[in-house]
């Protein structure tokens, strides 16, 4: 598995685990997780994937990738 394939699988898996808590907030929670734990290149790759048709990404994972690309200063200092 290369990084691109891996980040898609990871984003889907993270989103799936947040969906079971609360579908409405799953994309935001997944985005927070990605911003907190992924390096910039991985975030860039998932963003590229999300900006395509991204058939491999779940709706929540795709939304999360786009949210995670927003100003990361919002999470500075967290947790």
Partner 1 sequence: MAADPEADFGTPARHGAPVRLTIDGRAVTVPEGTSVMRAAALADAAIPKLCATDTLESFGSCRLCLVEIEGARGTPASCTTPVREGMVVATQTERLKKLRRGVMELYISDHPLDCLTCSANNDCELQDQAAAVGLRDVRYGYDGANHLDAPADVSNPYFDFDPAKCIVCSRCVRACDEVQGTFALTIDGRGFASKVSAGMPEDDFLNSECVSCGACVAACPTATLNEKAVAEIGTPQRAVVTTCAYCGVGCSFRAEMRGEEVVRMVPAKDGKANRGHSCVKGRFAYGYAHHGDRITTPMIRASTADPWRPVSWEEAFAYAASELQRIQATYGRQAVGGISSSRCTNEETFLVQKLVRAGFGNNNIDTCARVCHSPTGYGLKATFGTSAGTQDFDSVADADVILVIGANPTDGHPVFASRMKSRLRQGAKLIVIDPRRIDLVRTPHVEAAHHLPLQPGTNVALLTAMAHVIVTEGLADEAFVAARCDMDEYREWAAFVAEPRHSPEVLEAVTRVPAANVRAAARLYATGGNAAIYYGLGVTEHSQGSSTVMAIANLAMATGNIGRPGVGVNPLRGQNNVQGACDMGSFPHELSGYRHIAGAEGRRLFEGDWGVSLDPEPGLRIPNMLDAAVDGVFKGIYIQGEDILQSDPNTKHVLAGLKAMECVIVHDLFLNETANYAHVFFPGSTFLEKDGTFTNAERRIQRVRKVMSPLAGLADWEVTVGLANALGLQWSYGHPSEIMDEIARLTPTFAGVSYALLETEGSLQWPVTEAAPAGTPVMHADHFVRGKGKFVITDYVPTDEKTGPRYPLLLTTGRILSQYNVGAQTRRTRNTVWHEADVLEIHPFDAENRGLASGDWARLASRAGETSLRVLVTDRVAPGVVYTTFHHPETQANVVTTEHSDWATNCPEYKVTAVEVSPSNGPSDWQARYQAAADRARRIEPAEPAE
Cβ of residue 27: shortest distance to partner 1, in angstroms?
15
Residues near partner 1, by CB under 8 A: 1-4, 6, 10, 13-14, 16-17, 20-22, 33, 36-42, 72, 75-79
Residue 34 burial by CB count (10 A; 0-12/13-18/19+): exposed, middle or buried? buried
Check if the beta carbon of residue 28 is closer than 8 Å to that of residue 65.
no
Decide whether 8 or 50 has the Cβ nearer to partner 1.
Answer: 8
Cβ of residue 69: shortest distance to partner 1, in angstroms?
14
């Amino acid at each position: 598995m290369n990084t691109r394939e891996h980040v898609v699988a990871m984003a889907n898996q993270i989103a799936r685990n947040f969906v079971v808590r609360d579908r409405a907030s799953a994309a935001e929670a997944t985005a927070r997780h990605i911003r907190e734990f992924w390096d910039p290149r991985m975030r860039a790759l998932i963003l590229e994937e999300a900006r395509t048709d991204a058939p491999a990404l779940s709706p929540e994972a795709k939304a999360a990738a786009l949210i995670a690309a927003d100003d990361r200063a919002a999470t500075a200092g967290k947790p």
